[in-house]
Amino acid sequence: MRLFIGIELPEQIIAELHSLQNLLRKKVRRGRFPSKHNLHLTLQFLGETSENRIEDIIRLLQTVAKVNSPFKLSFNAHLGSFGHKNPVRVVWVGVKGEMEVLLQLQTSIVGRMQELGFPAETRGYHPHVTLARDVDFIDKDFLLDQEEGEFDIGQLSCFNIDHFCLLSSNVEQGKRIYNIVETFKLIDTDTK
């Protein structure tokens, strides 16, 4: 079972990001665009995992949820990328807002998962939502030359994060599908 831990996005935000993907499609010759139902913010990728380990993962993630508070996020004003050649490996939009709380949550998750033998990423955590992969831009300098407000990313709504999820990644009928295995509600520590 291929697992990861992530943050589901509110329906309104998914709709806004999907519109952003559609605008981006007009700027490319080709690329792979995740289904709008698969747009999310990854906290940790666990990879192929035996089903008999899920109970332990859930137990430790429940302890993480109990000591982390809800928080607010919004999006950065410009698109970013991993890989600077054309085609670009990943085009993403980054998040901003209560980053200290997000980073505390992500660090807590990674620490608890290390107890179960899941390694931490060697690269630093860079919170983002992937909009497209293997993107061949019509204008190879497009990402460098984005016009202010061209995609109205700054207009995307601020949103509340009050839970995170353990998700499975499966291929069904040739398409990648993410399914929720378990949801973990963040506890408002100010009201305990």
Domain harbouring 92, CATH code: 3.90.1140.10
Question: pLDDT-based confidence at 192, cuts 50/70/90?
Answer: very low
- 106 or 78, greater pLDDT: 106
125's tokens: 């955590």
CA dist., res. 88 & res. 10, Å (int): 27
pLDDT of residue 149: 46
Model's pTM, two decimal places?
0.89
Asked whether 143 and 137 are in contact (CB, 8 A), the reply is: yes
pLDDT at position 91 over 50: yes
62's tokens: 């429940």
Residue 61 falls inside a structural domain: yes
DSSP string, 97-153: ESHHHHHHHHHHHHHHHHHTTPPPPSSPP--EEEEEEEEEESSTTTTTSPPTTSS-G
Among 46, 39, 32, residue whose Cα is nearest residue 166: 46
Residue 191 falls inside a structural domain: no
Q: Tell me: the pLDDT tens digits for 98-116?
A: 999 999 999 999 999 999 9
Residue 18 falls inside a structural domain: yes
Distances (CA, A) of 143 to 13, 98, 138, 155, 164: 22, 26, 11, 19, 30
Q: Tell me: the pLDDT tens digits for 145-188?
A: 655 445 556 566 789 999 999 999 998 888 889 999 999 999 87
Residue 128 is among the residues annotated as catalytic for this protein: yes
Catalytic residue among 18, 37, 84, 128: 128
Question: pLDDT-based confidence at 76, cuts 50/70/90?
Answer: confident
CA dist., res. 190 & res. 69, Å (int): 8
Catalytic residue among 40, 78, 84, 126: 40
pLDDT of residue 79: 82
pLDDT of residue 146: 59
Residue 192 falls inside a structural domain: no
Residue 126 falls inside a structural domain: yes
Residue 108 falls inside a structural domain: yes
What is the total count of domains within the chain?
1
Residue 163 is among the residues annotated as catalytic for this protein: no
Residue 8 falls inside a structural domain: yes
Question: pLDDT-based confidence at 189, cuts 50/70/90?
Answer: low
> Is the backbone peptide bond immediately before 10 cis, with ω within 30 degrees of 0?
no
Domain that holds residue 24: 2-186
